[in-house]
Amino acid sequence: MNFKPEFRILSDDQIYDIHQAALDLLWKTGVSVKSKEACNLLRKAGARVDGETMLCRIPGYIIEESLKRAPSAFTIYARNPAKNVRVSTKALHYEPMIGRMNVYDCNTKRTHLMTLKDVGELVKLADAMPNYQLLHSGAIMPRIADVPIRATHVYGYLQSVRNSSKVIKATSRERIMAEDCLRMVAAVAGSEDELRNKPYTFTTANPVTPLLHDRDQLEGALLYAKWGQPIDVTSEPQAGATAPVTLAGLLTQQTADVISGITIIQLLNPGNPVWFGTCGSIMDLRLGRIAMGAVEMGMINVATAQLAHFYNIPCRGTALATDSKLLDMQAGYEKATILTMAALGGVNKIFYAGTMEGAMTVSKESLVIDNEIIGGLYRVLDGIDVNEETLAVKVIDRVGPGGHFLSQRHTMKFLKKGAHFLPSISDRRTRDKWGEAGSKDTVQRAHEKVEEILAAHQVDPLDAGVEAELERIVREVDEREAGR
């Protein structure tokens, strides 16, 4: 068995203290739940629910019993079965960011509003790169510049599924949007029955920190739970602003946010797949802005993974974000530092690859660069395999003192097996050779890779009947929203 590095921030006693503090909050302070359906679920289970304010005080036993029902592993199916994803507390998958308001142009160093063409290109890039398995999508966008704002979710989903046969995320932002997306996913899955039996998508439910579950997103998420689709329950606290300034206080509040959301989902559909998620960081109080590149975000990721695994639930974390406005050295060290902490700390799904500028902007070149950083970390997590053949005593004996291993079959055999991580855009040539090739920096090489993928990558095509049904749903939503 390969060695799996593990980085810990919290002791077992500290994890238990945070858990108990979160349970105390949910019973003594309570959580505001703006969905009548969710309030009824909690009331029926034994929580104290104020019908007027919709404040719910949830006893610890309800929380703990509900958390036990959440699975530690589950499968999400793709329209190409080779790209199905097995999620677990032992696995690591990456979800690149697709849906952001702005897109970075590395040639002008400026941004423009996201278009439907950008959505398709971003998804196609993610489809081509092996280190991205679970794809965010245009369905999540609150706005795509060239489509009707209330139909963004269906245009975005169709453009995404046209450009990838991997698992594609859908939105739960409002119940009606959740219904639209689930109808489209059912068409991809083959039928509503097939979708209910096999999850073909996933979504995110974000509690509004502190201690509030908004009606629209919670009711959308509950619809996904009725269909048995995995839900990423992720809190987004900012230490010093929407959470206590101390990281222990932030983790306590975040835990209360997340486990109350998971409890509601499990009360509706026991065993529904979930992730325990964080998008937590600090607010830089000098500027009044969340710091997505802060080292504390890495610490929060690691601590959240420990808490999620305490509950035996897969963890979703946030890394590969940066506060830099350019793909420069700041972007590099912020992305790599926080990602390394998250990966070594045991996070099971890492989100935000491809982002910059505090996650306000997405970059096609950053998707390529981040894919390379991820590849190196996957190599680290593979560890060092120690056995008779890898110890290579016979090969060393055959080469002898002063020899070399370039011509040995053993060398080629293990290179083919991945003994070394070989990056595709990092430059390891001498300065002279680098100069002869054009003296290109990392961003220029990544841009060339973007153009190469977009020109050459072939996406598994949609079945013609499925595409026609998706287009019909888009037209229907267009007409419905135009008539409002």
Other Cβ atoms less than 10 A from the Cβ of 400: the count is: 7
Phi and psi at residue 391, to the nearest 5°:
-65, -25
Give pLDDT, residue 392: 97
Rounded distance between C-alpha atoms, residue 256 and residue 260, angstroms: 6
CATH of domain 68-382: 3.20.20.480
The tokens of 362 are what?
A: 């997405």
The tokens of 229 are what?
A: 């689709």
Give pLDDT, residue 4: 65
**Listed residue (270, 309, 355) closest to 72, CA to CA:** 309
**Listed residue (209, 298, 323, 193) closest to 260, CA to CA:** 209
Give pLDDT, residue 6: 82
Rounded distance between C-alpha atoms, residue 54 and residue 38, angstroms: 10
Would you give per-residue pLDDT tens digits along the chain (484 residues)?
A: 344 668 999 999 999 999 999 999 999 999 999 999 999 999 999 999 999 999 999 999 999 999 999 999 999 999 999 999 999 999 999 999 998 899 999 999 999 999 999 999 999 999 999 999 999 999 998 899 999 999 999 999 999 999 999 999 999 999 999 999 999 999 999 999 999 999 999 999 999 999 999 999 999 999 999 999 999 999 999 999 999 999 999 999 999 999 999 999 999 999 999 999 999 999 999 999 999 999 999 999 999 999 999 999 999 999 999 999 999 999 999 999 999 999 999 999 999 999 999 999 999 999 999 999 999 999 999 999 999 999 999 999 999 999 999 999 999 999 999 999 999 999 999 999 999 999 999 999 999 999 999 999 999 999 999 999 999 999 999 999 888 7
Give pLDDT, residue 5: 62
Give pLDDT, residue 142: 84
Work out the end-to-end distance of the chain between its first and last CA atoms, rounded to an integer number of angstroms: 60
**Listed residue (171, 85, 99) closest to 134, CA to CA:** 85
* CATH 3.20.20.480 domain extents, the chain: 68-382
The edge-to-edge listing of strands for the beta sheet with 281-284 is 238-239, 281-284, 289-291
Give pLDDT, residue 484: 74
Give pLDDT, residue 147: 94
